[in-house]
Structure 1
Amino acid sequence: MFDNLSDRLGSVFDKLKGRGALSEQDVRDAMREVRIALLEADVALPVVRRFIDAVTEKAIGQDVLRSVTPGQQVVKIVNDELIEMLGGEEPATLNLDAKPPVVIMMVGLQGSGKTTSTAKIAKLLKEKHGKKALMASLDVNRPAAQEQLAVLGQQASVATLPIIAGQQPVDIARRAMESARLQSADVLLLDTAGRLHVDEALMAEMKAVAGVSTPTEVLLVVDSLTGQDAVNVAKSFTDEVPLTGVVLTRMDGDARGGAALSMRFVTGKPIKFAGTGEKLDAIEAFDAKRVAGRILGMGDVVSLVEKAAAAVNQEDAEALARKMAKGQFDLDDLRMQLRQMQNMGGLGMLAGMMPGMKKAKAAMASSGMDDKVLVHMDAIIGSMTRKERANPALLNAKRKKRVAAGSGRQVQEVNKVLKMHQEMSRAMKQIKKMGGLKGLGALFGGGGMGGMGGGMPGLDGPGPGGLPGMGGGSKSGPSVDPNTLPPDLQKLLNNK
């Protein structure tokens, strides 16, 4: 979503980092380019002005101009101000401590994704917070809106209020409150009708529902693709109901990102959730520090670790660990690793979360490489027999042709998959020599995370170690010092 803005800011900061010293004029020239980049990203003008003034004031201070690395100091100031603009250091959370049922009222424009977001939040509260939730649709205007929420409730295994034809929103809200009490529900989510912000009748209905249900949380759902008009939408709803937070949908889309950067300033309310896809589990708590890190190309290691933890099956991981300790690694194991990468969001998503991988991600895009490569590799391995997957040495020229034909790929691609497996298998044997699983730390310190390199169909040549297909990775390098990791990751690792 922030790719264009990230590229523009990256080019500005690359110029600053390349200089030994900065003058006040250098800083002002850089801020002029940053201002243009933010405006092109659809950030609201008042937000841009405030942001640039704050950064400029700090960046032209003597501590920056006289520092050893003034360019990096400016980047840090921009990072800090981005975090502040997006919501501050601490992620905003829902107030779930009120007397149950805690009422969460979802409001927003037509087509902003309220109904899906309602189901996503209910599922999240159930699975991660252990809350019993009840959902109720108050949308009597859009055809099949109530049926849609009922279907989503079945998919998320969350109860929904039975539909009574002809009942009006205020009456539905009263019945939902009573039903939530009878069912001892912890949380009641009210999905209100989508409305145009100029529709006074629907706005009045929304306020009447709020009066009946006295919601603890009123969440404004905003489509990130709305652009500059998101500012007007937010202001209209802020004037009508006491908003407590914002939910941004389609954060995985190709919007310019201005809505996300403007929303906190315009509403004065925190962004609490971000929708990152169409699936019901594609929602995450909004974290300003992580988003700022992605915008500035610093990566998001904590999110990467969390995605890995969610994608990896514990039993499969333990089974693979036992095989690795014996120096074993066959093509079925490689196939499992490729599928886990797909579950984590694919190569582009992973590269965007890894620090220093911005240029590698651009190289992937320019070479036409995308997540289809993972699908192709999976198809190649799937076209082999069980014996061939267990013992790749059986794959002679004739068998390779058969595998290529069966998967619809070229023999050269089959060879690249086999080469990747050979290098990873060699790494597993190194682990065995180092003393089994205890050798993993040394191997990681040696660069390359298990030697996962060797080229992937679609992108050859050297690249940063550690990402399959981005090259071989260096075979020697400094060990990883835990103290150099981001504070959030240190905390996460310590908790483990």
Structure 2
Amino acid sequence: MFENLSSKLNTAIRTLKGQGRITDVNVAATVKEIRKALMDADVNYKVAKEITDKIKEEALGQKILIAVEPGQMLVKIVHDELTGLMGGEKKDINLKGDPAVVLIAGLQGSGKTTFSGKLAQHIKKGGRNVLLVACDIYRPAAIDQLKVLGEQVGVEVYAEPENKNAVSIAQNGIEYARKMGKKVVIVDTAGRLAVDEAMMNEIAAVKEAIKPTEILFVVDSMTGQDAVNTAKTFNDRLNFDGVVLTKLDGDARGGAALSIRHVVEKPIKFISTGEKMEALDQFYPDRMASRILGMGDVLSLVEKAQQAFDEEEAERINKKIRQNQFSFDDFYSQLQQIKKMGNIKDLMGMIPGMGQAVKDVDISNDSFKPIEAIIQSMTPAERKKPDIIDPSRKKRIATGSGTSIQQVNNLMKQFEDMRKMMRMMNKVQDGKMKMPTLPKR
């Protein structure tokens, strides 16, 4: 996500690093490169020109402090301008009403149905009872897809497969929600391969009939400026409340994310970075600006960890670590928790300074598969007490997991090193580790 833009912006800003002061000449050269980077990322030309003009004006008007280098000052200026361009601050979804009704709109293939399932899970985690309503009456298997997603996240789906009237389905779904005590209704509507009058009339009729508390426009971020143009067309008819950017884990150049807020004057509320139901994040403009500039996003990383790790499970693991009983079963459990946090490469990109370091490295969650296979090929006794694993057992584990004996040995060594570190930490916490005695003079 934004890898090319991030790389080019950092290259542009580096031209000011090492400069003793900011001048008209070096700022003009740097701003020219920044504008080019934005244009290459498919940012709207007018938007790119406006933001770089602001950056130039701000940079030339700055008095550089002795302790701050020109390059550092420009990073802050660019960060602030990018943050402002993307909305300035996080905007929450409006869930007032009994029930609150969220209408999902967008083109076919933008990821509306998948997002509906993700949003249902997100709201459910907040403690609200959710109902999904299937109003896509055109796309084959759209209703079945929503039902599968509903099962995955534990949310009921209301559907009328024989009814071809989207307005009445939406109204009946909301009435059903009231009877069943559901607090939030998410209405998934039909999309088309292109904007047409019939589509716009139908979605407008649904809006008029159900009076939603929130309308979210879902857009495929990989379509670049077409996404921005489509958003404008929908907004003219629906006056939606917020934008959802999907497929940001793909080969997205980032132009839609940077332009859409400025063009339609509606906030980006969510971003989606994968097919998994957990791959949904609220959009924070300042955090995204930090990630684009390679400054990381530690707050989002911590939040993902808090969501993925169960408190009771964490306490159980801590207890086993304190008692020096950490096993391969516990290690496997922690591995699954980490995978829930999302794509490993994206997570590493949230660590300050790591984004550029891993941009050309192929890292995926599939990297865990050999480790998982090795652990799953162990017997319960072997997972509990790795010390009993002798050469013959290693050979059996390697054969069963489709790996080599060397891979099994490497995993066991890494696991043992980790356990030694845990034992050391326990001694420090218990106050048992003695400070080394200094030699007498």
Verify same fold: TM over 0.5: yes
Most deviating of 17-26 and 287-296: 17-26
In structure 2, the residue matched to 1:443 is none
Aligned pairs for 1:90-129 within 5 A: 91-97=90-96, 99-128=97-126
Matched AA of 2:95: L
* RCO comparison, higher one (Cα < 8 Å, 6+): 2
Task: Decide which of 419, 429, 440 is 2:423's aligned counterpart.
Answer: 429
Measured after TM superposition, the shift of residue 207 of structure 1 is 1.7
Q: Deviations over 1:276-315 (max 9, x none)?
A: 2212332221111222222111111122112222322333
Separation in structure 2 between the aligned mates of residue 386 and residue 152 of structure 1, nearest angstrom: 33
The 3-state SS of whatever aligns with 2:63 is helix
Q: Deviations over 1:237-293 (max 9, x none)?
A: 111111111111112222111111111011100011112221233222111122222
Matched, 1:312 2:306: no
Match among 239, 262, 271 for residue 274 of structure 1: 271
Query: Out of 146, 162, 183, which is 2:180 matched to?
Result: 183
1:376 to 370, 377, 380: 370
Rounded to whole Å, the distance in 1 between the matches of 2:284 and 2:375 is 38
Residues 418 and 151 of structure 1, relative CA distance in 2, 3 Å threshold: closer
Q: Deviations over 1:51-100 (max 9, x none)?
A: 111111111223248663221111111111111111213x1111222x32
Match of residue 469 from structure 1? none
2:252 to 255, 272, 278: 255
* Structure 1 residue 410 displacement after superposition: 3.4
User: 1:409: how far off?
Assistant: 2.8
Residues 190 and 429 of structure 1: CA distance in aligned 2, closer, same or farther (over 3 Å): closer
Is 1:408 matched with 2:406?
A: no
Give distance in 2, aligned partners of 1:93 and 1:438: 49
- In the TM superposition, residue 334 of structure 1 has moved relative to its aligned partner by 3.5
Q: What residue in structure 1 maps to residue 143 of structure 2? A: 146
> Displacement, 1:360?
3.6
Distance 1:335 1:285 in 2: 29
Instruction: Give the secondary structure class of the aligned counterpart of 1:39.
Output: helix
> 2:261 is matched with which residue?
264
Residue of structure 1 equivalent to 2:229: 232
Q: Distance in 2 between matches of 1:210 and 1:335?
A: 47
Which residue identity lines up with residue 165 of structure 1 in the other structure? E
**Which amino acid in the other structure matches residue 372 of structure 1?**
D
Q: Following TM superposition, by how much is the alpha carbon of 1:342 offset from its aligned partner in structure 2, in angstroms?
A: 2.5
Partners of 2:143 and 2:161 within 8 A in 1: no
Distance 1:95 1:189 in 2: 12
Unaligned runs of 5+ in 2: 434-441
Task: For 1:334 and 1:106, locate their aligned partners in 2 and report how far apart those are by CA, in whole Å.
Answer: 40
295-304 or 310-319, which deviates more: 310-319
Cα-to-partner distance string for 1:390-413 (whole Å, 9 max, x where unaligned): 454555555544443443333443
Match of 1:158 in 2: 155
Q: CA deviation at 1:141?
A: 2.2
In terms of mean alpha carbon deviation, does 148-157 or 30-39 score higher?
148-157
Distance 1:138 1:73, change over 3 A: same
Per-residue deviation at 1:385?
A: 4.4
Do the aligned residues in 2 keep the contact of 1:106 with 1:189 (CA within 8 Å)?
A: yes
Q: Which residue of 2 aligns with 1:195?
A: 192
Matches within 5 A, 1:362-401: 362=359, 364-365=361-362, 370-395=364-389, 399-401=393-395
Report the TM-score, using the length of structure 1 for normalisation. Answer: 0.80
8 Å CA contact retained: 1:21, 1:65: no
Establish whether residue 81 from structure 1 lines up as the match of residue 78 from structure 2.
no
User: 1:107, 1:220 within 8 Å by CA — same for their partners in 2?
Assistant: yes
Please report how far the alpha carbon of residue 24 of structure 1 lies from its aligned counterpart in structure 2 after TM superposition. 2.7
* Correspondences of 1:418-457 after superposition (within 5 Å): 418-436=412-430
Which consecutive unaligned segments of at least 5 residues does structure 1 have? 440-496
Match of 1:302 in 2: 299
Question: What does the per-residue CA deviation read over 1:164-185, in whole Å, with 9 as the maximum and x for residues that have no partner?
Answer: 6244123323333433333343
Paired AA for residue 404 in structure 2: Q
Q: Percent of pairs identical after alignment?
A: 46
Deviation of 1:236 (Å): 0.8
Distance 2:147 2:393 in 1: 51
Give the secondary structure class of the aligned counterpart of 1:274: strand
Larger CA deviation: 313-322 vs 49-58: 313-322
Separation (CA, whole Å) in 1 of partners of 2:393 and 2:327 = 17
Question: Is the Cα contact below 8 Å between 2:278 and 2:341 reproduced in 1?
Answer: no
Question: Structure 1 residues 210 and 387 mapped into 2: Cα distance closer, same or farther (>3 Å)?
Answer: closer
Which one-letter code corresponds to 1:308 in the other structure? Answer: A
1:395/1:41 Cα in 2 relative to 1: closer, same or farther (>3 Å)?
A: same
Q: 1:16-57: CA deviations, max 9, x gaps?
A: 334443333222211211111111111111211111111111
Contact 2:134 2:146 in 1 (8 A): yes
Contact 1:329–1:424 under 8 Å retained in 2: no
| Other-structure match for 1:337 | 334
Change (3 A) 1:327 1:143: closer
Q: Could you say which residue in structure 1 is the equivalent of 2:438? A: none
CA 1:139–1:161: 2 relative to 1, 3 Å = same
Contact 1:138 1:173 in 2 (8 A): yes
Describe the superposition over 1:114-143 as per-residue Cα deviations: whole angstroms up to 9, x where unpaired. 122222222222221x22333322322223
| The 10-residue stretch of structure 1 (207-216 or 220-229) with the greater mean CA deviation from structure 2 | 207-216
CA contact (8 A) 1:364 1:370 kept: no
Looking at structure 2, the residues matched to 319 and 180 of structure 1 have their Cα atoms a distance apart, in angstroms, of 39
Kept after mapping to 1: 8 A contact 2:195/2:230 = no
Report the Cα offset of residue 387 of structure 1: 4.8
Counterpart in the other structure of 1:47: 47
